[in-house]
Amino acid sequence: MRDRSRGDRLPLEFAVKRHTHDTAQLYGLLDRGTLAPGMKADINLIDFQRLRLHPPEMVFDLPANGRRFVQRADGYKFTIVNGDVTFADGQPTGAMPGKVMRGPQMPPPA
């Protein structure tokens, strides 16, 4: 998107929707992906000019030493989960308001 050198660039709004709402819907996370009343408000504030990806790596930080791929990035100013700042300038704050999710989540009440 930002670094594309040929062809049309994707609009930022399109990319954000694909990475938030559309991905949440695909995996059955019906209480995420949109900033609206009753939804989980997980927010990333990004310095778009400093955004840079690092190579993917395997970490073993889930319960029972479970593994997962992570891909760290520079340029994230804040990550906010359930109203708590969990990362500031890429560094963990110690706040851990989330939980491990298994399977689809219930939609928010209407």
Q: Residue 12 — very low, low, confident or very high, per pLDDT cuts 50/70/90?
A: confident
User: Tokens 């819907």 appear where?
Assistant: 25
Q: Residue 2 — very low, low, confident or very high, per pLDDT cuts 50/70/90?
A: low
Q: Which residues contact 3 (CB under 8 A, 6 or more apart)?
A: none
- CA nearest 56: which of 73, 44, 43? 73
Q: Residue 92 — very low, low, confident or very high, per pLDDT cuts 50/70/90?
A: very high
User: Tokens 């706040």 appear where?
Assistant: 95
pLDDT in tens, 31-57: 888 888 888 878 999 998 999 999 999
